[in-house]
Amino acid sequence: MAAVASRMPGERGPEVGEFWTCLTTGLRVHRSVVPPLMVNAVTAVVFLLIGGLLALLIALTRWEAVQLLPPSWYYVVLTLHSWSMLIFWIIFMEVAILYFASAIVLNFRLVTPGAAWLAYVLMLGGSLLAAATVLFQDATYDQPLLTSYAPLNIHPLFLVGAIIFAVGAFLALGVFFATVWRASQEGAYQGSLPLVTFGAAIAAIIAVETLLGGAIAYIFQLLYAIGILKTIDAEMYRVVWWLLGHGSQQINLAAMVTSWYLLAHLTTGAQPASEKVSRTAFVLYVLFINLGAAHHHLSDPGVTSAWRIWNAGYAIYGAAMGSLIHAFAIPAAVELALRRQGHGGWLGWLRHAPWGNPAFAALAVSLPLFGVMGGITGITFGTEQLNMMVHNTLAIPGHFHGTVVAGTSIAFMGVAYAVIRLIGLRELISAKLATFQTYLFGTGMAVFVVTMMWLGYFFGIPRRHPDVSATPLATSPLLEALMGISGVVAVIGGSLFVLLAVGTLLFGRHRERGPVFMPTISGGSQAGLHSEPHDLRGTLTLCLIFLAVFLAIYATHWINLSSLWRIG
C-alpha cells in the first residue's frame, strides 16, 4: 500500500484527497470508511428508536394497572423489541465501531468497501425479513421471542432472515479483520495494536464464535421447520442457541469496555495506567467469557453439576476477573489524567472531571450502572444454586437491562456523540441537552432495573408473561407502577438521544476537516507516564466500596437460598 502512502502528503487538497485529519484527535480518516461507518451507525439508531417505542408498549403492559396490550400483541411486540435492541441496534452499532477501530484508529483505508456494503445490505435485508415475518405471520405460528426455542412452531422465513443477518454480520467481521491485517502488512502502525483496536479485535473474535453457534442452531431449526428433520433435540437447541444468545451480549461487553477506554481518552486525555493489565483483562474475555452461555442451563435437565460449576463460573471466574480489572483500570486512567492536570486530593480529582461533556457523562453513568446493576447480578444469578431462585423471573431481564441498556447502550450513545463530532464533522445541536439526556436515561434505567429485579427476585414474577393477574402470584402494584413510570422516563431519555443524534447530523454546525496529511501522533508521553508514581487512592477507594456492595448482595443471595425448603 506504499502507493497511496507516497502520494499522500500535500498532493491533493483536503476536499478531494483520500485522507483528511480529525483536528481533535489527529486521526487520519480515509474517505472510504466514512459512508459505511455512518450508514451502519444511523441504521443502528433507527432500530434503537423502533425498539424504544416498542419498549414503551411493553412497560405499559407489564404495569398491570395499565395492561395496554392483549397477549397476542404483547408477544409480537416483545419479539420485535428484543430483536431491535439486542441484535439490530447493538450489532449495527458494533459494525460501525469495528470500522472506526480498524480503519480510522490505524490511520488506514477500509479494505474491500464493496464487501462492507454487501454486509450492510445482507444485515438490513435479513433484519427486515425477520421483522416482517413475525409481524405478518399467520396465527398458527408461535412468536419466536428472542430465543425461538425448539420445538416451537417458528416460521421458516423468520429463521431465513436471522441466518441472512448473521451472514452479513460475519462478512462485516471479515472486513474488520482484513483491514487490520492489511494495515499491519503495509506498516500503517508500528509495534502492537492500539488498545481500542485490540479491544475491538477481542469483540470480533468473540463474535466469530457467537455467530458460528447461532448458525448451527438456526440451520438445524430451519431444517426442522421445513420438515427435513423430523425431530430436534430441545435441550441441545438451548445449549447451542445460547452460544449466540449469550455470546452476542459478550461482543457488547468487549465493545462497551473498548468504548469506555475511548470515551475516557477523548474526554479527559486518559491513558491506561498499564497496557499489560488492560490487555490481559481483554484476553481473559476471549478465553473464558463464552463459557457464560451455561448461565442459561443452571436449572435445566441433562447437565451435570460439574458442567454447570465449571462453565457458569467461567472456569475460575476468569471473565469476571477481566471485568473487575477493567472496572479499576478505566477510572484509574481518568484519575491519573486528572492528577496530571493538577487536580489532587483523595477523591478531589473527581470534581474536576468534565461532567458537562455528554461523552464523559455517558462513561460516568454507564460504567457504575453496568457494574452495580448488571455485573453483580450477573455473578449471583449465574451461580449454580442461586440460579433456581431467579431462573425465568423478571429479575433476568432486570439483569440484562442493567448490562445491555444501562451499560452498553449508554456507552454507545457516548461514542455516537463523540463520533458525530469527529467523523460526522458536526457540532452537537445542544451539548447541554445531550448531557441531560444521558443522566435522564441513566436514572430512568436504574429505577427500572431495580424494580424489575425486585419483582423477579422477591415476588417471583415471571418474565415473558402477558398477564400475571391470571395467576395466583402476589405482586406489588407500587413496584409495578414504579417500573412502568421509570420505563416511560427511560424511553423519553432514549428518544431524546435519537432526536439529538439525527438533529445534529441534519442541522448541526459544520466542523472543519484538518489538512490532508499529518504524521502519526507520537506516543512519547506514555514513557513519562510510567515513570510517575501511580497515585490511585481514589480509584482503589471507589473499587473497595463497590466490592463491599458486591459482597453484601452475594451473601444476601446465599442467605435467602438457605431459607427455602430442601431441594436436591
Partner 1 sequence: MPLTPPQPRNWWDLPLGGHEKIWLSIVVLLGLSMFVMMPVWHVFGAQNSPTETYRVSPDYYWEKATKFAAAEGGLSRKVEAGIQPTGDDVYLGALKFGWFPNVLVLEAGRRYRIHVSSKDVNHGFSIHKAGEPSQKANFQVVPGYEHVLPMTFTEAGTYDIVCQEYCGLGHQFMLGRILVERGR
- What is the footprint of partner 1 within residues 182-211 (CB under 8 A)? 189-196
Helix (H, G, I), strand (E, B) or coil at 272: coil
Judged by CB under 8 A, the chain residues 20 through 79 that form the site for partner 1 are: 25, 27, 71-72, 75
| Smallest distance from partner 1 to CB 401, Å | 18
Is the distance from CB of 353 to CB of 364 less than 8 angstroms?
A: yes
Q: Looking at 117, 436, 439, 458, which residue binds partner 1 (CB under 8 A)?
A: 458
Place of cell 479491544: 199
d(CA 531, CA 198): 24
Q: Helices in 230-389 by DSSP H: which ranges?
A: 234-268, 275-288, 305-312, 314-340, 348-351, 358-369, 376-381
d(CA 64, CA 264): 41
| Smallest distance from partner 1 to CB 441, Å | 25
Judged by CB under 8 A, the chain residues 236 through 255 that form the site for partner 1 are: 238
Nearer to partner 1, 475 or 495 (CB): 475
d(CA 58, CA 77): 7
Pick the stretch among 114-122, 207-215, 435-443, 537-545 that binds partner 1 (CB under 8 A): 537-545
Residue 76 zone, left/alpha/beta (φ > 0; ψ -120 to 50; rest): alpha
| Smallest distance from partner 1 to CB 551, Å | 8
How does DSSP classify residue 109? -
Judged by CB under 8 A, the chain residues 262 through 301 that form the site for partner 1 are: 262, 265, 269, 271-277, 297-301
| Smallest distance from partner 1 to CB 202, Å | 13
Judged by CB under 8 A, the chain residues 541 through 560 that form the site for partner 1 are: 543, 547, 554, 558, 560
d(CA 168, CA 162): 10
Furthest-apart CA atoms within the chain: distance in Å: 78
Q: Looking at 467, 485, 505, 518, which residue binds partner 1 (CB under 8 A)?
A: 467
Judged by CB under 8 A, the chain residues 346 through 375 that form the site for partner 1 are: none
Nearer to partner 1, 214 or 313 (CB): 313
Is the distance from CB of 278 to CB of 327 less than 8 angstroms?
A: no
Long-range contacts formed by 137-142: CB under 8 A, 24+ apart: 139/72
d(CA 111, CA 90): 23
* Binding residue count for partner 1, defined by CB under 8 A: 112
Place of cell 424504544: 52
Nearer to partner 1, 240 or 440 (CB): 240
Judged by CB under 8 A, the chain residues 126 through 185 that form the site for partner 1 are: 142-143, 145, 149, 151-152
Q: Looking at 295, 339, 421, 465, which residue binds partner 1 (CB under 8 A)?
A: 465
Strands 28-30 and 19-21: antiparallel
Q: Looking at 471, 509, 545, 552, which residue binds partner 1 (CB under 8 A)?
A: 471
CA–CA distance from 510 to each of 169, 419, 424, 506, 562 (Å)? 32, 14, 9, 10, 62
Q: Looking at 8, 178, 205, 309, which residue binds partner 1 (CB under 8 A)?
A: 309
| Smallest distance from partner 1 to CB 71, Å | 6
Nearer to partner 1, 6 or 190 (CB): 190
| Smallest distance from partner 1 to CB 15, Å | 25
Q: Which of 112, 99, 121 is nearest to 176 (CA)?
A: 99
d(CA 296, CA 478): 30
| Smallest distance from partner 1 to CB 248, Å | 19
Nearer to partner 1, 48 or 483 (CB): 483
Is the distance from CB of 247 to CB of 209 less than 8 angstroms?
A: yes
Q: Which of 319, 314, 385 is nearest to 557 (CA)?
A: 385
Pick the stretch among 46-54, 481-489, 496-504, 529-537 that binds partner 1 (CB under 8 A): 529-537
For residue 435, state whether it binds partner 1 (rule: CB under 8 A).
no
Bridge partners (DSSP) listed for residue 30: 19
Is the distance from CB of 45 to CB of 551 less than 8 angstroms?
A: no
Nearer to partner 1, 117 or 307 (CB): 307
Nearer to partner 1, 86 or 123 (CB): 86
Nearer to partner 1, 196 or 289 (CB): 196
Nearer to partner 1, 270 or 429 (CB): 270
Binding pattern for the stretch 370-399 against partner 1, x by CB under 8 A and - elsewhere: ---------x---xxx-xxxxxxx------
Helix (H, G, I), strand (E, B) or coil at 225: helix
| Smallest distance from partner 1 to CB 75, Å | 7
Which residues fall within 8 angstroms of residue 203, CB to CB, at 6 or more apart?
Answer: 94, 97, 98, 251, 254, 255, 258
Judged by CB under 8 A, the chain residues 322 through 341 that form the site for partner 1 are: 324-325, 328, 332
